[in-house]
């Protein structure tokens, strides 16, 4: 799976990242990239973060890689949403878009890609990283249920989701 993230949209939807961004724009980006790098160590998904704007006067190029995360800046005259939609068009079924912007959501649906809103994605990433780091410290986490009765699944008819929603759910469940 290839996770394509609208960087500033995610930063501005999460209070802890907003606080870092208030210190400096670079601090907000670094905090997000560090969190995603930890997540990548756990899940091994290909991750691309797209930010608005070209950094003409910086040491960074418009596209680079840091800690296994692909980072892109939109070129002059093009916003991050458009760059993300172009990436989604290329990736199609293997892509998952992370944004709360309607244009990105519509672009993902148009190209049959999965989509998840920024706060929901952050919650999944944060919980995965927190659980993983907790497991490193404790080393006593058991992945088996305490009793086999607790792992039974409900039986019987269920209402089936529409195909598009089932595909989207399948992709977001992999997070």
pLDDT of residue 161: 81
62 alpha-carbon distance from chain centroid = 20
**Residue 127 falls inside a structural domain:** yes
pLDDT, average across residues 10-28: 92
Instruction: Read off the pLDDT of residues 73-126 as tens digits, 9 standing for 90 and up.
Output: 988 888 899 999 999 999 888 999 999 999 999 999 999 899 999 999 999 999
Give the number of other Cβ atoms within 10 Å of residue 41's Cβ: 12
**Residue 93 falls inside a structural domain:** yes
**Residue 32 falls inside a structural domain:** yes
**Residue 117 falls inside a structural domain:** yes
pLDDT tier at 5, thresholds 50, 70, 90 = very high
Tally of structural domains, the chain: 1
Q: Which residue in the block uniquely carries the two structure tokens 């939807």?
A: 13
**Residue 171 falls inside a structural domain:** no
**Residue 30 falls inside a structural domain:** yes
For 18-36, b/e burial (b = at least 16 CB within 10 A) is eebbeeeeeebbebbbebb
The CATH number assigned to the domain holding 27 equals: 3.40.50
In the DSSP assignment, the letter for residue 76 is T
**Residue 170 falls inside a structural domain:** no
Instruction: Read off the pLDDT of residues 50-82 as tens digits, 9 standing for 90 and up.
Output: 998 765 444 556 778 888 999 999 888 888 999
Q: Angle formed by the axes of helices 102-110 and 80-91, to 10°?
A: 20
Does residue 115 contact residue 97 with C-beta atoms inside 8 Å?
yes
CA dist., res. 171 & res. 53, Å (int): 29
User: CB-based contacts of 37: which residues, under 8 Å, 6+ apart?
Assistant: 66, 67, 68, 69
Phi, psi of 71 (to 5 degrees): -120, 130
**Residue 9 falls inside a structural domain:** yes
Give the full edge-to-edge strand order of the sheet including 69-73: 63-66, 69-73, 46-51, 2-6, 95-98, 114-116
Q: What percent of the chain has pLDDT over 70?
A: 82
Domain assignment of residue 71, given as a range: 2-141
Does residue 96 contact residue 113 with C-beta atoms inside 8 Å?
yes
Tokens for 76, please give them: 């002059």
CA dist., res. 76 & res. 13, Å (int): 24
């Amino acid at each position: 799976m290839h996770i394509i993230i609208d960087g500033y949209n995610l930063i501005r939807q999460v209070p802890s990242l907003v606080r870092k961004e208030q210190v400096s724009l670079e601090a907000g980006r670094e905090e997000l990239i560090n969190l995603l790098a930890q997540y990548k160590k756990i899940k091994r998904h290909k991750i691309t973060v797209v930010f608005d704007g070209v950094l003409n006067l910086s040491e960074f190029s418009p596209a680079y890689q840091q800690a296994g995360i692909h980072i892109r800046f939109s070129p002059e005259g093009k916003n991050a949403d458009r760059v993300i939609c172009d990436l989604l068009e290329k990736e199609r079924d293997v892509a998952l878009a992370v944004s709360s912007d309607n244009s990105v959501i519509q672009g993902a649906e148009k190209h049959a890609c999965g989509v998840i809103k920024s706060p929901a994605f952050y919650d999944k990433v944060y919980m995965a990283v927190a659980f993983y780091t907790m497991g490193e410290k404790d080393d006593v986490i058991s992945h088996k249920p305490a009793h086999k009765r607790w792992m039974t699944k409900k039986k019987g008819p269920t209402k089936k989701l529409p195909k598009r929603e089932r595909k989207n759910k399948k992709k977001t469940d992999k997070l």
